[in-house]
Structure 1
Amino acid sequence: MSVVVRAPEAADEAAWRQLWAGYNDFYNADVPEEVTAHTWRRVLDPASPVFGLLAEEDGRLVGMALCVHHEGTWSLTGVCYLEDLYVDPAARGGGVGRAILDHLVAHCRAQGWTDLYWHTRDTNATARRLYDSYVAVDDHVRYRMELD
């Protein structure tokens, strides 16, 4: 089986929502419907800095990534934040995550962006094995303040 990574299309919404729900379940996150719908609209909007990637295997969507392109202060070109990456548990171990990352790296290079960055929970051993095969973890510590 070969994995095809591509941009989302409007007809992908139901399958994307299933992957999105699985991702949020994995992180015990409760994302309101209003936010989910808004995220999907931004993914499809070519003017939005939010963009998505979908991984398809034998006609079935098995993985997704959500990314944010933004300007940086340490370069003249843009940078990319990989905010969300999820592979259907039934498809894990088959190269889907690697296919998404490879596609994203190539996309960032083609755009001339200087950096691609992401984070994951330190306990997410499966994802960390994949990520460690690309780059060593750096020495940054994340702080997150939720604002009402």
Structure 2
Amino acid sequence: MAARGLRIRDPNPGDEAAWRRLWSGYLIFYKVDVPEAVTAETWSRVLDPDIPMFCRLAEQEGTITGFTISTLHPSTWTSDLNCYLEDLFVDPAARGHGVGRALIDDLITLARKKGWSRLYWHTNAGNETARKLYDSYTQADDFVRYRITFD
């Protein structure tokens, strides 16, 4: 079921408080602590047209109900840009009404319009609710992620 009156759009500076409310919920969901300076920098980056990171907001009846944050980058396997969907979050009160699907559909529309080669993302293996949605688009591949962090 699609959310009535749902609109997907770019953020503006006045959306920061609404985005931060959702961002906080996202961090709680994944049980991570991101320093305030990084959160502020992320918000700054998604508003800066010179940085290849961007945000899309789901808005319904004046309330921000979800967001995506993605990064565009070149690839050694394609000639066009790839889009990495790094973060997707929907307010728990808005789940089950098509907000997450609308956010992904928005990125697919942008990809086709702008000629990107790929849209890709990953999620926690135990995130069954999200995986059910993601599996409706494509099946997970066989790649395993490795990550080295430098503090």
Q: Give the TM-score range, shorter chain.
A: over 0.9
The corresponding residue for 2:28 is: 25
Q: Is there any run of 5+ residues in structure 1 with no aligned partner, and where?
A: none
Q: 2:121 aligns with which of 115, 118, 121?
A: 118
How far apart in 1 are the matches of 2:91 and 2:56? 14
Q: CA deviation at 1:108?
A: 1.2
The corresponding residue for 2:137 is: 134
Name the Cα RMSD after superposition: 0.6
Report runs of 4+ in structure 1 exceeding 6 Å deviation.
Answer: none
Pairing 1:14–2:13 present: no
Pairing 1:107–2:110 present: yes
Q: Is there any run of 5+ residues in structure 2 with no aligned partner, and where?
A: none
Pairing 1:143–2:143 present: no
Q: How does 1:36-75 map to 2 (within 5 A)?
A: 36-75=39-78
Is the partner of 1:53 in helix, strand or coil?
strand
Report percent identity of matched pairs.
55
Letter in 2 for 1:124: N
* Aligned pairs, number: 148
Is the partner of 2:11 in helix, strand or coil?
coil
Q: CA deviation at 1:2?
A: 2.4
Normalising by structure 1, report the TM-score.
Answer: 0.98
How far apart in 1 are the matches of 2:86 and 2:55? 10
